[in-house]
Amino acid sequence: MSDGLEPPGGLEAQRVFAAVARSMLGLPAPLPTVGRFEIRERLGSGGMGEVYGAFDPLHGREVALKLLRPEHGADLAARGRMQREARVLTRLHHP
C-alpha cells in the first residue's frame, strides 16, 4: 500500500483489536495508533471488520478507520473489496 500502513488484517489490526477488547473489558490499555491515525473509539463491526473513530493529525480532523479482522487479512478478495470501498468512500463529500 502506498500510505505505508500494513496490509489489512496484519499485526497492526491484531494489536488494535486486542487493545479495544481490553478497553471494553474495563482493563487499562491505551488506545493504539494505526500508521498516523490515533484510535479514539470503536464505532461498530461487521462480518469482515471493525470501524473505529480516529484522529488524523496530518489533516487535523476526525475520521472513520475500517480494519479487516485478522482472519480475513490473507483473503485477497476481501482485501480487494475493502480497497474498492475505500476508493469509493474517498469520493464522498460529507459535511
Tens digits of per-residue pLDDT, 9-36?
566 777 777 777 777 777 766 678 888 9
Higher pLDDT, 52 or 48: 52
Residue 38, Cβ neighbours under 10 Å: how many?
18
pTM above 0.85, yes or no: no
In the chain, domain spans: 11-90
Please check the confidence at residue 4 and state whether its pLDDT lies above 60.
Answer: no
The CATH code of the domain at 11-90 is: 3.30.200.20
